[in-house]
A and B are shown apart, each in its own frame.
Chain A
Amino acid sequence: MAVLLIAEHNNQELRPFTLNAVTAASQIDSDVHAVIIGHNCEKAAKALSELPLVKKVISIEAPHYENFVAENFAPAVIKLSNDYSHIICSANTFGKNLMPRIAAALDTSQISDIIKVISADTFLRPIYAGNAFATVKSKDTKKCVTIRPTSFDPCESSGGSAPIEKSEPSEEFGHTKFIKREEIKSDRPELGTARVVISGGRGMQSGDNFKLITSIADKLNAAIGASRAAVDAGYISNDHQVGQTGKVVVPDLYIAVGISGAIQHLAGMKESKIIVAINKDGEAPIFSVADYGLEADLFEALPQFLEELNKLNTIQK
């Protein structure tokens, strides 16, 4: 039986983690179908059909699908579910909001946030903020699985030409109304997919001081992250939070500045390839996961860091 992937998109284009979810889906079964639910989303549907791993696209369009409301999206997926052994999407705020609503309606015990497909019914997933890995086997006939996008590579995005089938929309759920979305627009790479991430913590002391981080991020073409403490203190908006209840990032280079390294923060970044910690407290737990630790006052170290970077002429743009 084929597996059904739920595409995440903004009606114009696919959200990047859709590509990681397709990879995970293809490791469960090579027959991957993808459903796209939206309004005037032909462009995104076409992009989905061009993913070589996707064998068929099912497009469901209606005005009430313009914005993502789980109460509207879930019935549309449930209607298709008979034909599939697995339903899959990313374990980001899109999938976390949507998948349990589908799973409960199908009387399936969902498996959240997998980091590895062991077989079609057995998966590896982190528990306790990544301090333990559980191997779990689903006994349900139909499986609802969300995947940790940073644990799967994005699939090829061009060269495919899957057929696009239209399917009928479900009725609108009348009790939830979308009001607005405040997206923080930025020219920087997205936090979840950036090659370099530089994050600030409570040690930054103010939102204004994040300028020190911004200038280095500009230089390294890095995304900006933050610890929960920095977000709670109002130094920076919530979409920058890295950790157990924020985003998980796996960049080639993660620079933690003024972050002590609570286990909840480590949960979001300790799989990064290279970790740098800059902290004036030599005993801070962040040093235990850092490849390179610099015990220094960040207000002295960051300007020097920028200066040293300026001296290099081979920075990748």
Chain B
Amino acid sequence: MKILVAVKRVIDYNVQIRVKEDNSGVVTDNVKMSTNPPDDNAIEEAVKIKEAGKATEVVAVSIGEEKAQETVRKALAVGADRGILVKADGILEPLAVSKLLHKIVEKEKPDLVFMGKQAIDDDCNQTGQMLSALLNWPQATFASKIEIKDKKLEVTREIDEGLETIEINVPAIVTCDLRLNEPRYASLPNIMKAKKKPIEQLNASDLGVDTSARIEQIKVEEPPKRKAGIKVSSVAELVQKLKNEAKVI
């Protein structure tokens, strides 16, 4: 079984986001970038499946600017066998990304495609579902547990009401939740080894996909700030304030 894992380079989750003064977007210059957190869970799961002898190859793919190569390299350092970088400039919408991934799937013919359930930059939560629609494959979104049973997967999904279990036939798409596993850190020897693993570079424009923007981003603004509150000195004072001032209890 071959697993393709899609990884996205995003602003690190610890960075305090700043909006550009001209309202054209958020500041990305000199800002720490990392792998989208749930994509780390996707890579980890694929590598674990391979280590358990249930997968033969793990291929990491990223779509984005040249520097997204670092994101692919990190996936290689934690156990992916080889990488693919699809170079594209500017912001790609999930629909365009899923079309590009569709081309990669046609070329690589994986049995499974894993990715994070959501990217923490645009918070769209679309790409996995869109890719599975384009392929007409089953989709298991928000996965917190994956069991491989021959040519089927049993997947536990985190939903608003609790947990749901579904069984899907391979080939399939799985989008991973943060609780799926504990992503490992890359060891120094593995980081060195990853430098020798191959990364194939492709240009999005060569894949015959229309990636032009369908959504115009008119402006990006700071959200309204909350007014600073007060500190209370005791529980009794807190309860009095909630009752008499805020009138919420």
Interface residues of A (CB under 8 A from B): 69-71, 74, 91-94, 96-105, 107-113, 122, 126-140, 173-184, 192, 196, 220, 228, 231-232, 237-239, 244-245, 247, 252-253, 263-264, 270, 273-276, 282, 287-296, 301, 304-305, 308-309, 312, 314-316
Contacts and interface: CB of A to CB of B under 8 A. Distances in A.
Contact of B216 (A137, A175, A276): A137
Most interface-central of B93, B142, B232, B241 (chain A CB within 10 A) = B232
Given A100-B130, A312-B243, 4 more contacts: A70-B141, A176-B139, A176-B167, A181-B164
Interface residues of B, number: 81
28 contacts: A91-B125, A98-B129, A100-B125, A100-B126, A104-B95, A104-B133, A105-B133, A105-B134, A108-B214, A112-B124, A128-B120, A128-B123, A132-B26, A132-B223, A134-B217, A179-B165, A181-B165, A196-B248, A238-B179, A253-B249, A274-B242, A274-B246, A276-B242, A287-B231, A289-B226, A293-B230, A308-B236, A308-B238
Interface stretch (B9-17, B185-193, B197-205): B9-17
Most interface-central of B95, B121, B235 (chain A CB within 10 A) = B235
B230 A292 contact: yes
Contacts of B137: 175
B219 interface: yes
Contact of A245 (B38, B219, B220): B38
A94 B95 CA distance: 19
B229 interface: yes
A94 B125 CA distance: 12
A273 B214 CA distance: 35
B218 A137 contact: yes
A175 B162 contact: no
A96 B19 contact: no
Given A175-B168, A220-B249, A132 B160 contact: no
A122 to B, nearest CB: 7
A129 B248 contact: no
A274 B239 contact: no
Nearest to A237: B162
Contact of B129 (A70, A92, A309, A312): A70
Contacts of B230: 291-293
- Main SS at interface, chain B: mixed
Interface string B205-224: 00000000111111111110
- Main SS at interface, chain A: mixed
A130 B223 contact: yes
B215 A109 contact: yes
Contact of A305 (B125, B163, B178, B239): B239
B91 to A, nearest CB: 11
Given A101-B139, A220-B249, A275-B229, A184 B161 contact: yes
A181 B156 CA distance: 9
B41 to A, nearest CB: 11
B94 interface: yes
A71 B234 CA distance: 54
B229 A129 contact: no
Given A104-B129, A179-B167, A292-B242, A131 B223 contact: yes
CB-based closest 5 A-B pairs: A109-B214, A100-B129, A104-B130, A291-B229, A104-B133
Contacts of A282: 231
